[in-house]
Chain A
Amino acid sequence: MIDVNLQKSFGGFSIDVEFSVPETGITVLAGASGSGKTSIINMIAGLIKPDSGRISAGGRVFFDSQKKINLAVNKRRCGCVFQDGRLFPNMNVRKNLLYGAPGKSEELDAAVNLLGIEHLLERMPAKLSGGEKQRVSIGRALLMKPDILLMDEPLASLDSERKEELMRYRDKLPKRFSVPVVYVTHSQQEILRLSDELIRIENGRVKSIGIHNGEYIGLGTSEREEHVSVFECSLQGYDSESRAVIARFPGGVFLITAESEPPSGNFRAAVNASDVAVSLDEPRNISISNIFRGKIVKIEENNAGNITVHADIGTPLASYISRSSLARLGLSEGGEAYFLIKAVSLML
């Protein structure tokens, strides 16, 4: 367990957070740019000194303002993967990889295979693509056998194809190296796909800590500020003829079109509120296949001037409708309705 409790003031901006990071899995620190999440992991790594607080990892104290402990950066054993990679330009890939782990060539082979960078070992960093640089950077951090892996928006500078390429390593890495990961991002897609635990940061404070089922407003911030409903799903089957994934979620069973069968048994699905329509009668003869009956919990006006309908279909679900639709349907809190989900994104 990594326990973090720190306070730091930067002129007009201050950070005051307290949270714990579990021993396993990926803990995502999510928040808008400038919310303080990068400063927080820099303080865990020791690159910035907090004004006060205590940081400890697995019984080792990194920082304790009361006991005047401030462990040096190079003694903390925090592997860091930065947004810009930060490979040493004067060393080839092999030397970069072994910088934190001199002479460990057996482990080098394993890491290099896992990351698919065997062919790059003798190259200089200037000759690598952005995605290759980040894979080397991840390998370099893992090879030092860190007690914690801190990743600061490692995918932010990559195009979507490279992001995809790197996210595929998600399942392999932490398991193979069994290291807790703290992952900073403001991307909704990365949050939904990568996180085992989610800590949301806003204005230097912890906004929420917790699991995924439910609604979020502007989960990330790089995408639209829209209500998103997130479901933890389990795979029930795949109909290869209609190319539909059958997934069970707390509200029932979903059908999701997908080109191929998802590899893992559990995954997340996300529904944007603008992709959910509301009907009073059960629609028949309609192209939409995901229709759920549920209870209206709350009706409110949203920032865009539309109406947000919060419903419970066994799990929270948000829908955006227009004012005129609200008047026409006469929806009221506590009433029942059918919710038509037009599009579901699978987060595999």
Chain B
Amino acid sequence: MEMEVWPFLALSLGVTGLVRLLPWGTERQRIVASLLVLLAFMCWAPFVLDNFRLFQMTRIAVLGLALLGLNILTGYNGQVSLGHGAFVLMGAYTVAVLLDRKEQLNLIDASPWPFWATIIVAGILAAAAGLVIGVPSLRLSGPYLAIATLAVMISFPIIVRKYGAFTGGSQGLGFSRPPQPPFLEDLISREAWMYFLCLLVLVVMVLLGWNLLRGQFGRALQAVRDSEVAAAAMGIDVARVKVLAFVISAFYGGVAGALLGLISGIVNPDTVDIVQSINYLAGIVIGGLASIMGSIIGAAALVFIPSDAAKVVAKLPILSSDVVTRAPGAIQGAVVIVVMLLMPYGVAGVLHRLARLRLDQIAARWREAPALLSRSLQRASWTWDIRPWARHGPGTGHSPREGVVGRGQGNLPTQQPREDPTKGGQ
């Protein structure tokens, strides 16, 4: 059975959404059930998608992991980094050096490493690098931090090229991708094996991340993001939390890089370039800041927009297909702009609002839908204001500081926005 990727995704997400909204059981049960359904569909994917789409799905899993790492740092902790790609690249190189057939790195003994061990080593090395970068970064914030991390990202490939003895220079390192374990050999292809490997690692890391972020540490991360002074006053060790955010984020990046290396079989300085590293930031903003689900959605956007946006737009009668075929990037850029225009708080924010609805309540709410929509959008724009380096917007009179929160109009008999939609999808 073969399926196109869009019907497949529509089917799997549709069923997942239905399970999520069904009026049975507790909220928690519904969430767990829907995630299990989604996982089942994702396990079905290799058997219905063609190899190109399957490879795209594999990349989404890898990229989702990388974006989750960046989201922990930027979305949850408010430290904007443009250099996350450096950790990913580092993870990829770790795997390549350890698995390289030419055994260039004779420092370690030449017997081949098991591939799963290289993933762990890559994560740990990246985490160590995260520590090295995270500590000095304590002194920087906002765009200064962003540009400093970008400097790291710019320098890394150049350094790798210059010192080619270990890294293979511009050509990079090649190695054979790990074969499927014997008991799976007859069941699935090499591509499917790569996909399942990445999916497995993603699921494990998401569970770890979810466990970490929903608890005290997650609250500390966000408290530091919202106000370092207030967080310190509550007894949070701000410096420790910020460095830890860097370390954990780098760990995720390193593991993602390791997978990226494993699925490609070759690693060179262009495996992750500057533009991609900057795109990671675009990915989490499009997907949704401070949201695990948003990270994965962002990864899907980064993979599917370049491959499909132009094709979809070409079918619309509004543009001559000439533009679409010869300037696909223009369509991609326009799609990014339009998505941000329609969903300034990312896709996850919109989905989270949808998840709030219960099927049995939708009918009742339908009549007041327009008012509800405008009110909820307004409310979102009050509460959901992650602006790590914000003073406030240009005198619009719409920013919460000028408008409501700062004016302390707490005694008004209206509902104060309490729930933070950013925390959705965990």
Tell me, yes or no, whether A binds B.
Answer: no
